Amino acid sequence: MIPIKYNVQSLMVRRTTSLMTAAGVALVVMILVLLLNVVGGLRKSLELAGDPEVWILLSRGTSSEVESFIPRDEFDVLRTRPEIATTASGDALISPEMVVPFNAALKRPANQFRPAFLRGAQPAAYLVHPGVRLIRGRWPARGREEMVIGRKLQARFPELDVGSTFRYGRRDWTLVGVMADHGSVRESEFWADIDVLEQDARFENGFSSFHVVLKPGMEESFKRALTEDARLTVDAITERDYYAAQTAVADQLRSLVLLVGLIIGIGAAFGGMNTMYAAVARRSREVGVLRSLGFCSRSVLASFLLESELIALGGGILGIAGALLVSSLIGLNRRLLSVGAVTFSSHFSLSACASGIVAAILIGAAGGLLPAWRASRMTVTDALHEA
């Protein structure tokens, strides 16, 4: 095999063209890593809301809380199930909840619309969702026209602060608190007392969902009871599985990001290919010398392909460094973004960096394979003749 030192020295001799090619790869990797970090932030926001110990009950055949409707009388049946965990005072850990669409830009001009969700709940919700906590103000009082707002949503709409009032439905509502939930999608919601909200949302005599905490080992028994009891028309799924299913939007965005990365990566591969073809043409005498020294065509192929990969790998490392620098300069990890009703921040991840390195390696292989193949096909006579 041809020593790697030979390839490094060759790159140093052609450092200007090598750096330009590496810069093209770096640009591709930087864009790919930045976009994957954004998609990763959306996915993380959804996944953080999923508690494996909490189950969501939805009306049969539906896949989201907004679509679901469960008659009120089923609540009385469910809360007596022995499989549901209880508090120290004996109250069942079941939270009936209602979710309706809401416009977060309600204090802005009428032509602005920002989709969000308004969740009606009872105090039991604060026990079933232990990660939800107040960071300012207080929880809505029972029977009062009051709401709390998620931390991320409040940062996006600073006019919606504690003490602000607005009109919704037939009432004037007051924001009385700001809540947080470890950065999850719940920080993109408004919460209100479910009994008051039912009247204004015209969502009477029923709920969107039930969130329940089950006793350990009672999961299968509970699911079986739901299908055997003719009075119940609900399906059960863990919060973790429910929010994992909601990441379909993030998966679609990731596919789009990879497609964009593929398109611009092809352009970078062609740039690298031109550089390597030019290198092969200028170094035909070197190829002839290498062949005359006894190096076989496979060694020449591997040597030139290695050079292409070294350029691409250097570009990949520069691209990741560039992505970190850009994120830091513009505060991307602190900047709030939104997709639909979810407000989130970009999330730096090692998997995005790994994807960037893989992309760089593929670009190096695509751009260097044909030129390396051409160099390996040269005979000693042809190489010296072209020189």
> Quick check: 269 and 363 in contact, CB under 8 A?
yes
Q: Which residues contact 135 (CB under 8 A, 6 or more apart)?
A: 151, 178, 179, 180
Q: What is the pLDDT of residue 353?
A: 92
Confidence at residue 376, expressed as pLDDT on a 0 to 100 scale: 65
Token digits of residue 69: 């409707």
- Return the DSSP state at 229: -
Report pLDDT for 387. 47
pLDDT of residue 286: 62
Partnered with residue 116 across adjacent β-strands are 102
How high is the pLDDT of residue 178? 97
Among 259, 260, 276, 282, CA closest to 366: 276
Cα(280)–Cα(287) distance, integer angstroms? 8
pLDDT at 165: 93
| CA dist., res. 275 & res. 336, Å (int) | 41
* Ranges of the chain with pLDDT below 50: 383, 386-387
Q: What is the pLDDT of residue 312?
A: 86
* H helix intervals, 136-283: 151-156, 194-201, 219-228, 239-245, 248-282
pLDDT at 74: 92
Element (H, E) at 365: helix 350-377
Q: Rounded to an integer, what distance in angstroms lies between the CA atom of residue 352 and that of residue 330?
A: 19
CA torsion sign, 145 to 146 to 149 to 155?
A: positive
Q: In whole angstroms, what is the distance from residue 216 CA to residue 52 CA?
A: 12
